[in-house]
Amino acid sequence: TKRVLTGITPSGTPHLGNYAGAIRPAIRASVQPDTDAFFFLADYHALIKCEDPQRVARSRLEIAATWLAAGLDPDKVTFYRQSDIPEIPEFSWMLTCITSKGLMNRAHAYKAAVDQNQAKGVDPDDGVNMGLYSYPILMAADILMFNAHLVPVGRDQIQHIEMARDIAQRFNHMYGQGKDFFVLPYELIDETVATLPGLDGRKMSKSYDNTIPLFEGGEKLLQSTINRIVTDSRQPGEPKDTEGSHLFELYEVFSTPEQAEAFKAELHDGLGWGEAKKKLFERINAEIAPMREKYNDLMANPDRIEEILLAGAAKARQISMPLMEQLRAAVGLRSPH
């Protein structure tokens, strides 16, 4: 059996990038034969970049409801919240103690913060908390705790999975005594998506404020946000270049190859951008409208979400508790029994 695992940080409203880059491929992977799936809310990760308790609380519900609306079956998938698994931070500490500082110095998120500070001429570590710095270690703990083989993610997470592999190898080497505690995890990238562009063509991201919300705000907000996609100034009747057009890229991600070809031909024939946006809205909405009702029902019933998450955590802990006992013994904190 293959184990598939992925998480989403509840620090904002789920957007099309989360859906196409992680949720959709993860759910597809979870229904493959001989697959055990572990999907979770990375709520400890949310504390790193979000100091607003209400936003975390709201986002937690939105992301849980999104997973369930998108087709996650909590009877088949182990679906939980990171902070319900106390073994994860404990394990994360063990991993922190075997991870070199140099490895963390190379992490993209930390380096980006340092680069920005340097460009501004302020202290390189300005505004960098230790959570951000050791973020990839907590993520390694998430992945290794459940011995995941495959981690469906968008391209921005690849480096973190590489680091999880490094850390797993090091732990195996230091404490394995000939047996491997951990399999080496690999990213599962949907090559047709990899990095979904946002309104301005940069990667769709909460931090760029260029996201298209998945369910929140309903059809209306979906449509009005799509209308804000930046295009070139070509007028209706003028042929449009689909090469490098992020509007076209978005369309492709939500359509069959045939539908995308037809849309491309229309753009080459001079379809106006206004019309193109309408078609893009219709395409995306066709995929997500059937899920929206379920999303709204769940959002109106937070107790139900809580119940599902707690049941998932109980399942997850049947794995994390015995593993943690072994690990405590392996590093010398307890006697083996």
Q: Which residues are annotated as a binding site for L-tryptophan?
A: 142
- Nearer of residues 51 and 269 to ligand TYM, judged by Cβ: 51
CB of 238 to ligand TYM, least distance (A): 29
DSSP letter at 195 equals: S
**Positions in the binding site for ligand TYM (CB under 6 A):** 5-9, 17-18, 21-22, 42, 45, 139, 142-143, 151, 153-154, 156-157, 193, 195-196, 203-205
CA distance 337 to 330: 11
CA distance 78 to 50: 26
The string of DSSP letters for 222-264 reads HHHHHTT-----PPTTS----TT-HHHHHHHHTS-HHHHHHHH
Amino acid found at 16: L
- Nearer of residues 80 and 271 to ligand TYM, judged by Cβ: 80
CB of 197 to ligand TYM, least distance (A): 7
In this structure, what token pair is assigned to residue 239?
Answer: 């042929």
Q: Which residue ranges make up the annotated binding site?
A: 9-11, 17-18, 142, 154-156, 196, 203-207
- Nearer of residues 12 and 271 to ligand TYM, judged by Cβ: 12
CB of 270 to ligand TYM, least distance (A): 29
CB of 164 to ligand TYM, least distance (A): 8
CB of 144 to ligand TYM, least distance (A): 10
In this structure, what token pair is assigned to residue 265?
Answer: 């031909």
Alpha helices per DSSP H over the chain:
16-18, 24-30, 43-49, 53-69, 87-96, 101-105, 108-120, 130-145, 158-175, 218-226, 246-253, 257-268, 273-299, 302-331
- Nearer of residues 113 and 271 to ligand TYM, judged by Cβ: 113
- From 40, 47, 46, select the one nearest 82 (Cα to Cα): 40
CB 118 within 8 A of CB 124: yes
- CA neighbours closer than 13 Å in the CB half-sphere of residue 214: 35
CA 100 to chain CA centroid, Å, is 25
- Nearer of residues 50 and 289 to ligand TYM, judged by Cβ: 50
Residues 6 or more apart in contact with residue 275 via CB below 8 angstroms: 236
Question: In degrees, to the nearest 5, what angle opens at C-alpha 101 toward C-alphas 95 and 102?
Answer: 125
Q: What are the backbone dihedrals phi and psi of residue 200, each rounded to the nearest 5 degrees, phi first?
A: -100, 5
- Nearer of residues 12 and 74 to ligand TYM, judged by Cβ: 12
CB of 147 to ligand TYM, least distance (A): 13
- Nearer of residues 70 and 196 to ligand TYM, judged by Cβ: 196
CB of 275 to ligand TYM, least distance (A): 25
Nearest residue to ligand TYM by CB is 21
